[in-house]
Amino acid sequence: MKKVYSRPKSLKRNPFHYCPGCGHSVIHRLIAEVIDEMDLQDKAIGIPPPGCSVFAHHYFDVDMAESAHGREAAVATGIKRAFPEAFVFTYQGDGDLAAIGTAETIHAANRGEKMTAIFINNAVYGMTGGQMAPTTLSSMKTTTTPYGRDVEIEGYPIKISEMLALTRGAVYIERTAVNSPANIRKTKKAIRKAFQSQLDNLGFSLVEILSPCPTNWRMEPLESWRWIDEVMAVEFPLGVIKDVTGSKDAD
Amino acid sequence: MSGNSIIGEAAIRAGCQCYFGYPITPQNELTEYMAAHLGRRKGCSFVQAESELAAINMVYGASLVGARTMTSSSSPGISLKQEGISYLAASQLPAVIVNMSRGGPGLGSISAAQSDYFQATRGGGHGDYRTIVLAPSSGQELADFTHRAFELADKYQIPVIILGDGMLGQMMEPVEFKHEAPEKPPVRSNALRGAKGRPSRAITTFTSKPTELEEINWSLFRRYQLIQRRETTYEAFMAEDAKLMVVAFGVAARIAKGAIKNVQAEGLKVGMLRPITLWPFPSAQVTSLSNKVKQFLVFEMNMGQMIEDVQLALTGNGDVSFYGRPGGVIPTPSEVAKVISRIYYQKGLK
Amino acid sequence: MLIKTVFAGFGGQGVLSMGLNLAQAAMLEGKNVTYLPSYGAEVRGGTANCTVAISDEEIASPVASAPEYVVAMNKPSLVRFQNQLESGGILFVNSSLIEADISRGDINLVEVPANDIAKKLGSPKSANMVMLGAFTRKSNLVSLSTLIEALEDTLKKKKKVLEVNKKALEAGYSYFK
């Protein structure tokens, strides 16, 4: 019998603790697959955030170091400046990257730090219990917008990827989703391309991934997949936002 | 060389590989010195960060991968750095943080002050931790203590704070550097540099089990006890037959020394204890002094912070007076001499 | 013996380099010395000052509340520092720019037309070095030759500027016989 599917080498043998239907598990696996395929396991340093994925080091079999909330890009900067041979990826949520860590992220991108940010956008603060995120959609209910996000009071869902694309140091930015087999494949391709741009020393790269959070969205997993297509991707359109890597698509 | 530049040169000679900073008066000459002299050294890096928060977290990143690394700021900026210092302490990562302090609270003044004693010696950020705090009082000590700071940080895997002030930073004094810069900056042996030839590792402090964190706290505490036993340093000045002991640190100690020479000339028996490590504080020395001396005068350029450590060390076995000038006012030796002699006579020592 | 000197003037008059050169020279002569510039929100055209303390012993404070010497290169400096001068101290005044109206009877006045001398030398910018030369002659804190040595140290890459400054120092020094 032929083995067609197995656990990536750079994923540990620990079962994921994430909620049913959560996007983290899928994204972890995609990253691990790309690390394996690009042979990065022994030079990678991952920076997970405080948040649901704070225990990412239980799953990734690569060196990892915790960061303070929002400071991943600064930590990555320190690592790359002291040890440029390292391959560094941050793993950050929307509150982390697009609220408390906005300054660190924008300036790391603008300096063209050779790092990759994997940006999980699920429109909500997951670990703290479903509060409003900067990416929460207009009129979406969260525990701190119990009557729905009122843009007059709480402002608009922030499009951080589009903002980052304006920085000269950012070379590759793509928004994908993990709500269908096709989109999952596209996400993996985007991660690979972002990683490659770092290996080629081109500059800052980021993959924004629309990721379901059925628990805090109060939905069934399948419903949450559909909601990404029907609602979220309307506000946050999928696709390449910036690509100045000059590389050709493999397929 | 200005005090700030002295620290920069001494840091480079101590093998500092990465410096991350953000401009703030009165420490800008240090940032500028590193920009001019560290940034272009082979394998070294200088980054002007977007904020103090970013700078200290860059330090954290560079320390993770084993580099000798430093940041510097002045009081308001050091407040911002506390988050990162707490993480460094928790992760047991070495780093050197320079505070050329100024008057506070708030934006305060840019003049020299010592009002960050509590912040420096009590950890400063959240959680149960300590940092080693060195308090230089001259240009030469800025050089020597900077070197020592890097050594201590590596030896105990701990953030070390150099607590100076605006005057030390701006002042120029002759200085002799005792070390040559290493050709290649050193890399710490337990650095996180990718899982090559070894299992992957994670540097984390977060745990869902309180007992695990308690164990981390205990292990930190045991290391702090070791540091207290081994690294406490102080200077005793004319302490032998003193009837009144002045306790002062940093620039205040320097001013007090001048004052003591004045009153000695008038026949008053006054000595001084100068804590060099503010943490660990030389409590045992204060305690043993109190067997001979009963009168103490704590002199600080603040409203009275180190005095609490003196009182704790004395536990009532001695009488403590205080003289302080906060806000960035720099008292003169003759002003302090007047205070010393007033207290000397008031307490019936002559 | 502890002697403190305040150099003060407009930003751009070179008062900080006067102090720096004196401090450097004192260091070369093996004395204890501190140099403390005023710092902060300084602007070109505003006032600048620095304090140099020279002593045979350890220097307690680099700050001068009552300096032995004050060198005033402009009017605002004269107004600000003449009252701080130690009784019996010397006030050096740049008489090219200031009419020295002195209200105190317990201090000595030394007038040096620094800008005029510098102009005659063909280097109006070197008024500060003229003044430093004259100051050195009167104060005897360091010798002229170490002062020149210190200058050579700081300006080793700028031969032209060094020559101009050297001449200015000597002219100031020989202004008083």
Which domains are assigned to chain C? 2-173 (3.40.920.10)
Residues 6+ apart with CB under 8 A from B230: none
Q: How far apart are CA B258 and CA B268, in angstroms?
A: 14
CB spacing of B332 vs C58 below 8 angstroms? no
Burial B311-328 (b: 16+ CB within 10 A, else e): bebbeeebebbbbbbbeb
Q: What is the mean pLDDT of chain B?
A: 96
Fold for the domain defined by B234-346: Rossmann fold (3.40.50)
* Span A41-64, pLDDT tens digits: 999 999 999 989 999 999 999 999
pLDDT (0 to 100) of residue C44: 66
Ranges in chain B, pLDDT < 50:
none
pLDDT (0 to 100) of residue C46: 73
Distance from CA of B22 to the nearest CA of A (A): 13
Distance from CA of B167 to the nearest CA of C (A): 8
Helix (H, G, I), strand (E, B) or coil at B29: helix
Residue type, B270: V
| A116-121: strand order across its sheet | A239-243, A170-177, A204-210, A116-121, A87-93, A44-47, A63-65, B202-203
In a domain, A122, yes or no: yes
Residue type, B95: A
CB spacing of B54 vs A44 below 8 angstroms? no
Distance from CA of A114 to the nearest CA of B (A): 14
In a domain, A7, yes or no: no
pLDDT (0 to 100) of residue C100: 82
pLDDT (0 to 100) of residue A225: 97
Q: Where are the domains of chain B?
A: 3-195+218-230, 234-346
Superfamily designation of domain B3-195+218-230: Thiamin diphosphate (ThDP)-binding fold, Pyr/PP domains (3.40.50.970)
Of B172, B332, B334, the CB nearest to C35: B172
In a domain, A1, yes or no: no
Compute the average pLDDT of residues A222-242. 98
In a domain, A16, yes or no: no
Domain that holds residue A210: 24-243
* Span B132-191, pLDDT tens digits: 999 999 999 999 999 999 999 999 999 999 999 999 999 999 999 999 999 999 999 999
Q: Which residue does chain B place closest to C66, by CA atoms?
A: B332
This prediction's pTM? 0.94
pLDDT band at residue A250 under the 50/70/90 scheme: very low
Q: Which residue does chain A place closest to B186, by CA atoms?
A: A82
In a domain, A133, yes or no: yes
Residue B159 CA neighbour count, 13 Å, CB half? 33
In a domain, A13, yes or no: no
Residues 6+ apart with CB under 8 A from C55: C1, C2, C3, C31, C32, C33
User: ipTM beyond 0.90?
Assistant: yes
Compute the average pLDDT of residues A75-100. 98
CB B318 within 8 A of CB B294: yes
**CATH number of the domain where residue A229 is located:** 3.40.50.970
Strand partners, C111: C93
Of B332, B266, B275, B315, nearest to B298 by C-alpha is B275
pLDDT (0 to 100) of residue C45: 67
Residue type, B190: N
In a domain, A15, yes or no: no
Which residue bears the tokens 């303390």?
C53
pLDDT (0 to 100) of residue A251: 44
CB A235 within 8 A of CB A137: yes
Strand duo B270-275 + B234-237: pairing: antiparallel
Q: How far apart are CA B220 and CA B223, in angstroms?
A: 5
Q: Which tokens sit at A153?
A: 């009071």
Q: Which tokens sit at B155?
A: 């030896």
Instruction: Give the number of domains in chain A.
Output: 1
* Span C58-81, pLDDT tens digits: 999 999 989 999 999 999 899 889
Q: Which tokens sit at B246?
A: 């002045």
CB spacing of B58 vs A81 below 8 angstroms? yes
Compute the average pLDDT of residues A56-80. 97
Residues of B near A (CB-CB distance < 8 A)? 17-18, 20, 45, 47, 49-51, 53-55, 57-67, 69, 83-84, 87, 91, 191-197, 200-206
Contact with chain B for residue A141, Cβ under 8 A: no
In a domain, A205, yes or no: yes
CB spacing of B254 vs C60 below 8 angstroms? yes
Distance from CA of A10 to the nearest CA of B (A): 9
Whether there are 3 or more C-beta pairs closer than 8 Å between A and B is yes
Each residue's pLDDT, cut to its tens digit, for chain C (177 residues) gives 899 999 999 888 999 999 999 999 999 999 999 999 987 655 666 779 999 999 999 999 999 989 999 999 999 899 889 999 999 999 999 999 999 888 889 999 999 999 999 999 999 999 999 999 999 999 999 999 999 999 999 888 899 999 999 999 999 999 997
